[in-house]
Structure 1
Amino acid sequence: MNKFTTRIKQMVFLTMAVCLAVSCTEDMETSRSALNNGSTALRISFAAPDYTQVNTRSVMESGIKDMTVLVFKEGRLKKTIQLEGLSFAQAVTVEGIPSLPKGTTDPFTGTFVENGNENIICFLANVKAMTGNWPALISEEEAGNGQGVTTYTEFLNYKPTYESKDALVSTGYIPMYGVYTDGIVDGMTNQINVSLTRALAKINFTVNTDNFRLADGEMPSVVVNGISLHNVPLEVTLPSKKNRPALPVGGLNGIWPDVQQPYPTYAEKGFVSFDANDEKSMSGNTDMATFVAYMPENARGSYDGITNYKDKSNAAKLAEVIGSAEGLTYLLVDLTYTTNSGIMRKVEYTIYLGGNNAGDMNIRANAQYNVTTYIYGDNTEDGAVTNIKVIPLFDPSIVKNEGNEKLVDIAQTPANCYMVDVEDNEGDFYIPLSQVRKGWTYIEKSLNDGKAYVDELDKVIRGGKWELVTLWKTMNHENSNIVGTMPDDSWISPDNAPGMKNYFAKLIFGEGVENGNNAVIALSATEDGEIFKNGDILWSWHIWLTDYKPAINGIVENGEVHKYEGISFTSGNYRGIMDRNLGAVYSGKITGQLQTTEEAVKLYGLQYQWGRKDPFPASGDGTNTMLTVYDANNETYSFPSPVANDNFENKLKDAVMNPTTFYFKNGGGDWTKQDNNLWTGSDLDVFSPTPAGWSLPGTVSGYGALTNAWAGFGDGNFSGVKNAGSYDSEIGPFDWKAALPDQVGTAGRLYELTDDSGTAWYPAAGSRNSGTAVLQSTGNNGGYWSASTSGGNGVLLYFSNSSVYPVGNNSRAYGFSVRCVHK
């Protein structure tokens, strides 16, 4: 079994400089100047070293909203001055400052021994912004008794506290501290420079899942749902070394920060957790996400028993060395992966934070922690990341049979088209909604517009805030709708999580639903969210109502599965190709050209723009008149007017939410921003229109545009005798059969199979014009998309009465037929 590993690639601990001074402006050339009234004043310039900027919520990392100036003389608070509306850009003059001899060493950066004679000016920035109140420190002036009430020692123990998590994440200003000890000359304007130290740490976290693999080597679709930060204290600790106890015996000698007793003291009500939604700071795509947060200092100690990062994130090891992981700050990564077979699992990873040294479990104020974690799998035995929880969300193996083996087998694999024989349906039919999530994962990554589509989609699906109804159908009689509901818990085996039912929809077929029809059903939101609104279509499926049951290794019912002997077909590893177009409603085996218009049009099937999963009806009468379809009320369904996309914008989201709208570019071209991965020839393509297990012929396994299933039709590259000659428009391997007398729309081409097993019929179903969406050339031309591309075009088999282009190419905005292949 491949070993899952999680690496902390980089954890940089940066202690910001404390003594950075800002140059004075021209009107501050002298450090001191006389005042006309002979009073004492300060001319103050503030500075604070910048954090490294990253995408984050709106935080003024160097902003000052309010400032409290505290003058300590001989160890007692002499005077308090409160200022608002400050900034770093302009110096501030403060009058009425008492004279002050030179003070002791800066307690924030040097050795400080309290002697009761401290002559120091301290500065508290943004405390009112964080707490709503000015600091509760009483000066001699305020007390009115000639003696300061607050001592310097009491000030060092002052710890302003955020009222709540919401206050911490919404203040927008960072509390800061500063000190000045050089003394004040009486009767002068004293120019001083003050460097402020931030009282919050900055956590800059990136998680990367690019190389996420399962034990069998499969690389599933992975989405990072969220990142949250846990054990964040609300209490802000004054960053003074005086408050940091000595290093424990046997600890990391000489390494700052040092702490013996963790602080703040852990109390559950005093520690909070918040996630990316609180911070509004998670950004990125499905393979990588970043999270930025600010938090007060949380010093939990340094331990030489933790010698590597694997131990640092191993709960058992932490408990052994520290005694308890209680109060340690950690990140929780929540992701979901979906396997190729449709299994969906949620996985949670816990990552403990701290300094560069593995044993350093401290989060220090005024420091930025840069952490990048690469997640490579979900091995729950790996100790590099503790608390790995694998939560099953959807597993097709749990679906109860209920006496309907055929239908359940089909429904177990996510797809955009399901073949349903309603006359043989003796049990319930479920479809997995994991396909919706895979689709929006692709869309979110493709758009990269910063919107959390998948997160909101999860809320809709998990909360059951959806409905699944008929969008259009080819039936108009009573009780001919198909709807979907959320299954109850009884259909899931008791060993699995009940929440799994949220990832399935149980289809209910009206009593009037009949084979020989097509329907498109749509999943819509039923409540307003931040992105999706009530009534928005989130996904849609084509339900192909047919008794045709194509099988590769077994009995095929009511039709055939063919295998051609073209070089491309065998080299491309294709095992079979359907004998009819996708969406064809003809019942029974097809032996050649059908004799009447009524029967011929039943083989037309549906038409698709290249790269789209949703169909458009073809002709209903053998002319360029579209088949009439109906809505859920059995009224004629009117397709929306085509929408021009002349700027080649990304219309993938629009196409999903408006599955019946035809997008095009005037003058020809793609219907959306070019994306060659919408169809690749894989049965796992998230936007493939084919049933589960089938695909379009194309570039699967690295085969190029000239190796689709039809490469060689008429070019002499077939091994069989009947198809060995060069192409002739009338006599050859792919013969044109003109429309029969008085039977329009019966024309097409007939391919003779090389093993004498019969023929394959390709009706001339025409196409939809790439600029107008109007049907054209019905009965004269036929086009069959492959998943291959050629430049900005799609590759297709195209023919008329006089020519055949096995690897032709045309604008991807055209609507052509699809013939499904099996690898």
Structure 2
Amino acid sequence: MRYLVFLSAILCANILLGSCSEEKLAADKETSSNFEEGELTLASLKLAVNSFEVNVQSDSRVPEEDTEAERAIHDIWVFQFDATENQNLLINPRYYTIADQSELDNLQVWLKPNITSTVYIVANTNQPNWITDKTDVSSRANLEAQELYNLEPQFTNEGQSLSIPMTGYKDNVTINEESGTATNEVTIPVTRMFAKLCVKADISFDYMTLRSIGISRIPKASKVTARTGEGNDKTDYRNTFYYWKATTFDLNGEEEHIVYVPENMQGIIEEDNNSGKNEGNAPAKALRLTVEVDREDPDTGENTQPNYVVYPGGNVTTDFNIKRNCIYNVTINITSDKDVHIPSSNCFVVVPGNLLSFEPYYREEKGGGYSFKDYLDVNDETGKKVIDKVEIIWQSKDAIGDNSKGDLVWYNPETQKIYVKTKTEGNALIAAYNKYDEIIWSWHIWVTDHDPANLSNAVRYTTYEWDSNGIYPDRPRTSGLEVMSCNLGALANEPENGQDTKPFGMLYQWGRKDPFPPVLKGNPGNYTVQNVGEYYDNSNKQVVGMTSDVDPTQLFHSISGIDMLKLPNPVCYAIQHPTVFICGTKGVMKGEQYVENILNYVAEGDWNHVHDDRLWGGLPPVDDGSMEKYTINSQRNVHIYDNYGSSKTIFDPCPYGWRTAPGELWLGFTKTGLNPTNWDEVNNYPAPDWNPSWWGTYIYMQSWKGENGNGYTYFPNQGTRVGDGYGMRVGTCGNYHNATTDSGNRVNILHIHNTARLFHIFEFEFPMYYVKSVAGPIRCVRDPNPGQ
């Protein structure tokens, strides 16, 4: 659970500010309508941008004047309607771009003269194809029913320029047939379609520091005309064009963070016993702020990261409307930390030398329809789901230390918390056992001081727009989620040299929550201490056994695909045996030629013969029209589906606040959004001294070749464990999992290579890489809806 904290939410008062335009501007795009528009003449538009509305309250900050960036207009669509009852379209809609704001001093457009009319403007769409010959804007009502799609939150703190969509109109306009006359000057007030959120945080405790603030449930589409938030006139989404984006930021020492978001009108609820706005009464799609802090208990030294929830709107009690052209000054005051409950996850990032505590029974993920109580339940009368003890299954040397006395990792039944004291950087897997000495759940402890879960280290990705007809690299990119700065479990973001393995992360079979330590050498190689490195047991003394073979005397070993088919529930088996590699091949340790032949696999290469595409938060791919689907290769039956679910699952291996990435993340890694034909089509950053012999490559995440900034990150070619349990391609291949799948149980794996021939953002040539039993690294992204 999270906590609603006091916020100041400020609303609305109206002032007009004008900016003028009178220079002739040729139309960049003109649609063709089914009527003859006749002779047109030039008219001069003056666009007056309405100021943001603010309702000044006694506890609010004094609003500042609109900035030049907030008033900027970069393009406009121009419409003209007659004054009849139906207000019919008079001219073909035209799209004009404005290269320099000085052009607004004299902006001329084509209009129909000698008729009383309404001139309508939609500005800053950045979409020259928004209105086409097939778009019905034959009347003003039809135009106002249209929606702008692919809207993204905008920021000034991150150095981005603004292009806030606006609309406006002027009634009773009559254009003189003679162009350039005074009567042909039309002043049109325009209003922004976005709201402005000014977010501040005030924490009353010196042992708590702000970590990040997340904004979720941001609509991606907005009607031309404003919604009221009443009855059925609420912001909603009905298909993939309304996908809810989210963003997260830290203040980085700034007093406040400013973000501009499309209107989100969710209405006003009835007063709820003065309880204020909270998760219990909030509409499902109400805009939400999630505040994450670092907390070190002043008495015990326990380190936790509690989360608090805030709902901006018209007031702090009942109004969930985020209105266009309004400023919301949100001050988040954290004045109490009593009874703070920290939800569990499958991975915890802990600084060396710290004490971690968490509540193992408390989980918030709702994705996939799974219930955590099916596995852990403190009230289970049989005791099978009740924690009796906690021990270390494996650890890198001194990550935790000698726990033979149970004083470094333990469970306290009174507090119902698990405690972990870390020592040095590394990784560990701890497990809870029931009274029957059965493993009932396990957790990855990631001990590192480079703070990979901190937003200041993450890079928000952008990707290409796409639909069932194609991928569109020539269109403006759409903003995605923040990407973690390193692979899950890595001990460094970047290498110190070309063959540095510290950036290597853990390996995961698709859909499983528990990690396998990475392979460090071997091609192919047995999963042994010689190829993986030494890992230790609960006492931190005994090196645990490792093999790719079927040998249960070794902690890490494999079972064949034939034996997997005999398991009634492979998911339950995987939970109880987190170190056992479940092969997707008929046999184990058969070699490269064997795993390259799809005929040697069972269950289409899945480690789970029951098949479940939801395990990591994806949706099963379907062809019923409910999700977008683009065919990459019809002969191989390869597609990308818009099947990234809105919620994280209990099997997702990422830490709280993060989740496994969507498949669209990889599109921007190449120039076309498809597999490249040469290295020039790979969106790599040429780091100093980098060359193709390096065990990894840097990828630009936000634009093609960094043209809009230097947002890049390092992806190591750390190899993988293929379906027969062997390690493969260390230093030459990076095979990255994401949450979504294709039809036929194929995973959307990213196959990174330092040569273009094998750099595949859609891997469909080699089954040893695209089956679900392959174990690859993960790059987590920020969870836009934590706890949902």
TM-score range, shorter chain: 0.3 to 0.5
TM-score by length of 1: 0.40
Question: RCO (CA 8 Å, sep 6+): is it higher in 1 or 2?
Answer: 2
Larger Cα-atom Rg: 1
